Amino acid sequence: MAITMSPGKSVQIIVNATFENELIRVLDKVGVTGYTQIDARGNGYSGVQDGHSEGETNILFIVLVASELAEVLIESLIDYIKRGYPIVVYTNDVEVLTTNKYGKPTI
């Protein structure tokens, strides 16, 4: 087996924990094959989120996708931002190992 790394995007999405399930529904809908969630705290325009209660906890989602899907994904979040949900999104270029035990594409 040779190393094969494919270029793609890592999309990081920071949301309040109360929005976690909704975001998972969005990810499912746009068709990502996987995602990673990390509990986080933070500060920003919505004030300190110290993680003490669910409503004051952030979740950082990391979603590895091909560039085109990254755009679709971000596009699908705009509506939620308009409705008032605090959602911080940033992306960067990554190389993803495409070899996995399932023989299916990671991105």
Partner 1 sequence: MGLDSLLIPAVLFFALGAFAKFINSDLKFPEGMTKGIGIYLLMAIGLKGGVALSGADFSLAISSIIWGIILGFLLPIIGYALLRFRNKINSFDAAAISAHYGSVSAATFLTAVAFLEVSGVEYESYPIIMMVIMETPAIIIGLVLAALARKKLAVKSGDEVPKTEWSPLLKEAFTNGSVVVLIGALIIGTVATPEAMAKVTPFTSEIFMGVLCLFLLDMGMEAAKKANTLKKVGGVLIAFGVMMPIIGGTIGVIVGISFLGFSVGGAFLLAILSASASYIAVPPVMRYGVPEANSSYYLTLSLGITFPFNVVIGIPLFYQMATMYSAL
Ligand X SMILES: Nc1ncnc2c1ncn2[C@@H]1O[C@H](COP(=O)(O)O)[C@@H](O)[C@H]1O
CA dihedral 70, 75, 77, 81 (to 10 degrees): 130
* One residue of 12, 19, 35, 74 binding ligand X per CB under 6 A: 35
Cβ–Cβ under 8 Å, residues 5 and 95: yes
| Site stretch for ligand X (CB under 6 A), options 17-25, 26-34, 70-78 | 26-34
Residue list 13-72, contact with partner 1 (CB under 8 A): 16-19, 22, 46-47, 50-56
Work out whether 51 is an interface residue with ligand X (CB under 6 A): no
Say if residue 38 is exposed, middle or buried (CB neighbours under 10 Å; 0-12, 13-18, 19+). exposed
Closest CA to 107 of 88, 90, 93, 87: 93
The footprint of a second copy (CB under 8 A) covers 1, 3, 5, 8, 10, 14, 24, 33-45, 58, 60, 62, 64, 71, 74-75, 77-78, 81-82, 84-97, 99-102, 104, 106
